[in-house]
Amino acid sequence: MTLDWTELTRRSAFASHRLIGWIYWDPRAIELYAGLGIPNGVGYYVASRGAPLLPAGNQAVSAAFYSIRADFIEFAVTLADQNTSWQEIFAARNQAVGEGLRQYVPEICEGLAALDGDLWRVADALPESGRVCFAAHRQAPRDEDPLVSAWLAVNCIREWRGDTHFAVLTSEDISRVQAGILHDAHLNYGGWIAQSRGAD
């Protein structure tokens, strides 16, 4: 059988976005983050996604995230640093992942958990050079719950893709603002992405 690698890549990308992306807007995850002392859970996306990088400071997180406003990242990282630790942020997010998967998609939980070891073998085999966000997530503690651990492995692989994507943007001299405009135009979001990334 001949594989259509382009189609397989498209499907994999969409599946990984569906598996990972929801956690950044999940009310329970934001509630748990707020419970760490963060007023209204403000800045949860930045702090939770960048948790393993937070000890390096807001400039490191901004560099890794590439296209998100540097001043918002500074605000979110400073707020997190004043109230909690990256380990507590990481644990709260992981708790929400386990709860959410079992609540929203119980039908995938057993199969995903069974892939835990295989997914981490893939992540561990990927080259880390120039991929700081990926490397930070790969080095972070792995959860004892195989379902959450498998999710973390997919997230790690997805961050590898993200770091690689940003490297391509850099090589093409596409700025933070330009990247936001192009992303927004591609998804037809009416300016929201571009504005959130500094094109205001």
- What is the full per-residue pLDDT of the chain (200 aa) written as tens digits? 788 999 998 899 899 999 999 999 999 999 999 999 999 999 999 999 999 999 999 999 999 999 888 999 999 999 999 999 999 999 999 999 999 999 999 999 999 999 999 999 999 999 999 999 999 999 999 999 999 999 999 999 999 999 999 999 999 999 988 988 888 888 888 877 777 776 66
Cα 4–chain centre separation: 27
CA distance 44 to 117: 29
- Decide: helix, strand or coil at residue 172: coil
